[in-house]
Chain A
Amino acid sequence: MIRACTVDELPPGESVRIPGSPAIAVFNTEDGELYAIDDTCTHQDASLADGWLEGCFVECPLHAALFDLRTGMPTCLPAKEPVRTYSVVVDDGVIYVQGVAAEDAA
């Protein structure tokens, strides 16, 4: 389990990139749902944390591939491969991502 950031640091509509291998992108949707996926787009090298968040989808900032944050599945080209999804837990005001090698573990 790795520490992402505090809840206060990730308001609705925002995202954060956690460096590492792999890098993880954590999103807080406008509805206040938290999701974590692999940060690197499966199409070409781009950080999905920099992408455009709309509902529970994120659009790759470079080539507009769209991923469903709930499943990691791409919903349109040019991406074809899903990104991995991770479960997110909040404990005492801190957001953690589960199931990632704990390189940057707090």
Chain B
Amino acid sequence: MKRVAVVGASLAGVRAAQELRAQGYDGGVVLIGDEPHLPYDRPPLSKGFLAGTTSRESLDLLDAGDLAALALDFRLGVRATALEPADRRVLLSDGTSVHADGVVIATGGRARTLPGFEGAHTLRTLDDACALRAALVPGARVVIVGAGFIGAEVASTCRSLGLDVVVLEALAAPLEPVLGPELAAVCARLHLDHGTDLRCGVQVSGVSPAGVELASGALVPADVVVTGVGMTPSTEWLAGSGLQVGNGVHTDTGLVTDLPQVVAVGDVARYGGRRHEHWTNASEQAPVAVANLLAGHSARTYLPSGYVWSDQYSGTLQLAGHPRPGDTLSYVDGDPSSSSFVATFSRDGATVGVFALNNAKLFNRLRRQALRRPAVV
């Protein structure tokens, strides 16, 4: 293999490029990114960077030493527009193309928008974060649609800036389908304890200059509106490539697509029918995908740790595993009314998930010891 094109220059793409070198590949690596920026880390965008306490420089995924050592051929500020496997080419939005024997698809996705909310802020990219930060002036009334991780973290940051915040959530409680009603209530309490006006079971209909309009006809006044309602995988550019797409690019359990010289990693990768939108997943997939790309077949299987974290207000939330509704929740330490607790999810006598609020030590112990075996679908 003489040249590998890594399409997508965020965490998953960068990790793939690093893994190529770490696994001894010394051919060319072209790293294609549609944003003009060198690769940066996204988690602080809703937290310290938005609050102004984390510097732009600290977001960089690669420092000067890394850049020199990796010897990447960057194509930044251009989008991949097509993959032509027969010609081994990736076409780019500036009219150029990249010849590559191997391709790593790491195009992630874009923030989903709601009909009627055109022009509202979303938060996925550095530019999004800069635009939102500029809007968070003293006295601004902030309304956030969606109480998932992004919405909750933005709400938390806005409160730390002293702003009035309303969070509108369609579900009965934040993250209820993921965490179940008891832990969802904990997430709701975090909002209320810190002065955020969380309103659940609310349907929104659109944004107006005065604020957010609800399906009920009511208006929630706002100066700044942020939607945090998930993301859409970026696969449009793969139309005509012959690859299976649909809620991500489809791969086997080793992250290899129908073409052995094309693998996928990160938010866009739908492996064995599953797709995750998390930092850890984007980071952990690269070693497997790259090994399989270099081997020419799916020699290794990806086993997700299912680890996610979120910093909200005074709390660090951690979740590992893949709990489902109906799993049995048990408190190992503390209880849901305390400021620090650890709970496990069990199913058929096996621990399938661990959740912690402000107890990283016990969380990691259980994650390693109780959850040692990988989740089996």
A residues engaging B (CB < 8 A)?
44, 46-47, 49-52, 59, 61-64, 77-78, 80
Contact = CB atoms under 8 A, between A and B. Distances in A.
A49 B364 CA distance: 12
Given A47-B360, A61-B363, A62-B309, A52 B368 contact: yes
B283 A51 contact: no
Nearest to B14: A77
Ranked 6 nearest A-B pairs via Cβ: A61-B360, A50-B361, A50-B360, A52-B364, A61-B364, A62-B309
Contacts of A59: 364
Nearest to A17: B361
A78 B61 CA distance: 8
Interface of B: 15, 18, 41, 43-44, 48, 63, 279-280, 283, 307, 309, 316, 318, 360-361, 363-365, 368
Nearest to A49: B361
Interface class of chain B by DSSP: helix
Q: For A49, A51, A61, A80, which residue has the most chain B Cβ atoms within 10 angstroms? A: A61
Given A47-B360, A52-B364, 9 more contacts: A44-B44, A46-B360, A49-B361, A52-B365, A62-B309, A62-B316, A63-B279, A63-B280, A77-B15
16 contacts: A44-B43, A44-B48, A46-B360, A50-B364, A51-B360, A51-B361, A59-B364, A61-B361, A62-B316, A62-B360, A63-B279, A63-B309, A64-B280, A77-B18, A77-B283, A78-B41
B57 to A, nearest CB: 12
Contacts of A80: 63
A80 B63 CA distance: 9
Contacts of B365: 52
B18, B41, B361, B368: most-surrounded residue (chain A CB, <10 A): B361
Contacts of B316: 62
A80 B18 CA distance: 14
A50 B364 CA distance: 8
Contacts of B48: 44
Contacts of A44: 43-44, 48
Contacts of A51: 360-361, 364
Contacts of A50: 360-361, 364
A54 B126 CA distance: 36
Nearest to B60: A80
A78 B15 CA distance: 10
A70 to B, nearest CB: 21
A103 B323 CA distance: 45
A80 B279 CA distance: 17
A77 B279 CA distance: 12
A44 B44 CA distance: 9
B96 to A, nearest CB: 31
A18 to B, nearest CB: 15
